[in-house]
Amino acid sequence: MAMMELAAVRRRDGGKEINRKRRAGGKVPGVIYGKGLETRSLEFDRKSLEKFLDTARRGTVVVKMTVSDGAGGKESYAVLKEVQTHPLSDRVTHVDFYEVALGQKFRVEIPLRIRGKAAGIEMGGVLEIVTRSLEVECTPDNVPEFIEVDVSPLGIGQSLHLGDVQFPAGVVPMEKDLRMTVAAVHTPKAEVAPAPAAEAEVVEGASVAEGAVPEKEEE
């Protein structure tokens, strides 16, 4: 499990203009919420947040967050839920975190990481990744950064199903259909050769089209 630390400050004011000034000052607004918990508005230092996001975007990360509120600070554990970015600059404008309790199970989306080269590719097959993430239930201390899936045994026409995936101890998939396809190797579609361009045939002795000027015979 990957776990990182992140500092935040409780904010009690808001609005577009105030948040715009925060962003101009190197801060990013956000929220943290959880089941049965108070939703708190926060602000983060942009450099620290972007460093965290560089890691969090590669897999699932549990963050130990220290939220300063006046003179004191409170520690919370959370997972990243949503990142909003500016449509033109792609800079982060807002982040959402979901608070979790250590030792208490919760549901989280975990990305799948493909390992190996499918045997069917050597025979001209095409690998299709059908499922790229899975929702699982586990405790925060058991959250895997990713779940590795080995596709190397797959030949042409073969599939890897949910029942073939090995989950870490304490991690249970929410999908109960073990036949759900995760990856498959297909026969490549036959390419259709383009039709040859039609060539005009010259018919000996054919009449000259109306209005056309016939060529003179050589004398």
Cα angle at 101 between 96 and 105, to 5 degrees? 100
Q: Report pTM.
A: 0.70
Measured CA distances, 136 to 37, 42, 62, 177 (Å): 21, 28, 14, 13
Asked whether 3 and 62 are in contact (CB, 8 A), the reply is yes
User: What would the pLDDT profile of 120-156 be if each residue is shown by its tens digit?
Assistant: 999 999 999 999 999 999 998 889 989 999 999 999 9
Distance between CA atoms of residues 212 and 40, nearest Å: 86
pLDDT tens, residue by residue, 65-119: 999 887 667 888 999 999 999 898 889 999 999 999 888 899 999 999 999 999 9
